[in-house]
Chains A and B, each alone.
Chain A
Amino acid sequence: MAASKPRVKVPGSAKAGEAFTIKTLISHPMESGLRKDKQGNPIPRKIINRFTCDFNGTNVIDMEMHGAVSANPYIEFDAVIDAAGEFTFNWYDDDGSVYTASKAIKLA
């Protein structure tokens, strides 16, 4: 499987002070650590344990995630801006990897 790839959906522009929806999806097995392989050995946990979204350095949401979040985590939330700028998204893997994405937005 290719490395985890994030996808984000952010409108190209938004009005100042008006909330809008952001959707994110990343391909990841979210191996919970509770499953066993065919030989009966436990499959080690490997999940994305944290997701953050910031706008121009200001936090939008900061999410601590556990094994009960489904494979290929989908997260939808709302943001509000007062200036043009950039959203940055970070997914933190148990193995230390950090997957990132960013998206610019204009004021409408």
Chain B
Amino acid sequence: MTTRAKKTAVLAAVMTVGFGGAAMAEPDLDAKLVINDELEMTTIVEPAPYLDGALDQVISGWHFRDAATRAMEMDDFENPAMNFVEDGLAAWDAVDGTEGKSCASCHGAIEEGMRGVRAVMPKYNEEAGDLWSLEEYINDCRVNRMGAEAWNWDKTPMKVMTAAIGVQSRGMPVNVAIDGPARPYWEQGKEMFYARTGLLQMSCASCHEENYGNYIRADHLSQGHLNGFPTLRLKKGSLVSTHNRLFGCVRDTRAESYPKGSAELKALELYVASRGNGLSVETPAVRP
């Protein structure tokens, strides 16, 4: 190859990369997330001290999406997840189980009874002596108060219910507790976040701390916050639960993943949620 031919080859390569470059308008940190022209969301916050400088800024995944996807989350009518929320609201009032009760029988209107609940999940349950995710609270009510069957964490009835409960906290800051009895779970989750796993020997941090804003294949990496879950994934056209996402990330490192609802994923959920403390709850967010 002559020098001139080499130069041309290099330029060809640059042009090829350039096509990818055209997509790199994100993250657009100047964009403002306002839902239905009225609910102003906090999508960028200063990192908490316990992150030890791991992130310069805590940035919602919303900023990492393209303008069309971002727009879908800004209007409840255009957000396809709101259909699922409506199913969850109907289920809230529906009697189920041997005790003849609905969620509303004990908790009243979902707008009042569930406001703020999503923002502090997962949390340590004193009575149970364990860290509980929102799904566990729901199933505990179903089994022990309603006499109904527990829902699978990853199936539609549970996802529409967590979405309907979650949206009641929309706009409130994520505020999971990491001290006191929650501390050991948080420590476990932190260790998992930085542990390299799988054939690919990747940790959560490999993507979501060291490479957010970059592409993995054609996927734009975010910081991996949980403030929008359950979230509508456009590729599926349906809701994706927190544990489905965590399960999938671990699996994608080519590791044998932890079951949804397992103690491991709950601990990881707590730690990852804590990294996003201060961001507004966006449930139900829209992601590609």
Contacts and interface: CB of A to CB of B under 8 A. Distances in A.
A71 B236 CA distance: 9
B80 A72 contact: yes
Nearest to A73: B80
Interface in B34-93: 77-78, 80, 82-84, 86-87, 90
Judged by DSSP, the binding face of B is helix
Nearest to A72: B80
A46 interface: no
A7 B237 contact: no
A74 B80 CA distance: 9
A5 interface: yes
A15 interface: no
Interface residues on B, range: 10 to 19
A9 B76 CA distance: 11
Given A5-B86, A23-B78, A29-B237, 11 more contacts: A2-B90, A5-B83, A25-B77, A25-B78, A25-B80, A27-B84, A30-B237, A70-B237, A71-B238, A72-B80, A74-B78
Interface of A: 1-2, 5, 7, 9, 23, 25, 27, 29-30, 70-72, 74
11 contacts: A2-B90, A5-B86, A5-B87, A7-B77, A23-B77, A23-B78, A27-B84, A30-B237, A71-B238, A72-B80, A74-B80
Interface of B: 77-78, 80, 82-84, 86-87, 90, 156, 237-238
